[in-house]
Each structure stands twice: as C-alpha cells, then as structure tokens.
Amino acid sequence: NAGVTQTPKFQVLKTGQSMTLQCAQDMNHEYMSWYRQDPGMGLRLIHYSVGAGITDQGEVPNGYNVSRSTTEDFPLRLLSAAPSQTSVYFCASSPVGGGEQYFGPGTRLTVT
C-alpha cells in the first residue's frame, strides 16, 4: 500500500492563478480531509469528506473548493490564489470507524 499520496510536493503560484492539489489513498478509507499548517498555528482543517459525494467545510474553508467523486481521491482547488494561502498543505484519511488519521507527505505552496 502506498498510503496517502499528494502531488505536487512543491508549487509556486502567482496571485490570481488557480491550481489543484491532488490527494489519493489506497486504504479504502471513507474519511478524508485537508489541513493547512502555518508556523506557530498547528494544523487547521480546511475541508473534509465522509464518503464519495459528501463534503463539508472545516475551520478555514474560504478560498478553497473540494469534491469527492471516488473513495480514493480528494482534490483541493484554489480558484484564485492569494499570498495568504502560502502554507504547507496536508491531506489525511481514516477509516469509517474513526481512529488515527494517516497523513500524506504534504505540499509546500508559495503564492507570490
């Protein structure tokens, strides 16, 4: 099992550009989520999904969209990047019964 994978590892965007951060898991987990991590702020939840076709907002959803068409994939879209979205983004998944969340390796995004 590859676990949780994320692409790209690094990305630089200009203000106003759009892009999609990819996340995939091969553990058949129902729950998937996106976090951002900023210095001194811990991990903050952006969006999450409890199954294909079901998504909801977390603590800091503004500026981000998600969709969940399959169990495996949970992409995060930035429609118009802003410098405030410079951060490290982590995707995570867990089985339907809860328990620990497994994290992907992260994407470091810089918006200039």
For binding to other proteins (CB under 8 A), which residues are involved?
A: 31, 33, 35, 40-45, 48, 50, 58, 90, 94, 98-106
**E runs forming strands in the chain:** 4-7, 10-13, 19-25, 31-37, 43-51, 54-57, 64-66, 76-78, 87-94, 102-103, 107-111
Least spacing, CB of residue 16 vs other proteins, in Å: 29
Question: How far lies 36's CA from each of 1, 6, 70, 77, 97, in Å?
Answer: 25, 13, 22, 13, 24
Least spacing, CB of residue 38 vs other proteins, in Å: 10
Measured from the CB atom, the residue of 56 and 112 that comes closer to other proteins is 56
Least spacing, CB of residue 79 vs other proteins, in Å: 24
Measured from the CB atom, the residue of 16 and 53 that comes closer to other proteins is 53
Least spacing, CB of residue 23 vs other proteins, in Å: 12
Q: 49, 58, 55: which is closest to 94 by C-alpha?
A: 49
Measured from the CB atom, the residue of 5 and 17 that comes closer to other proteins is 5
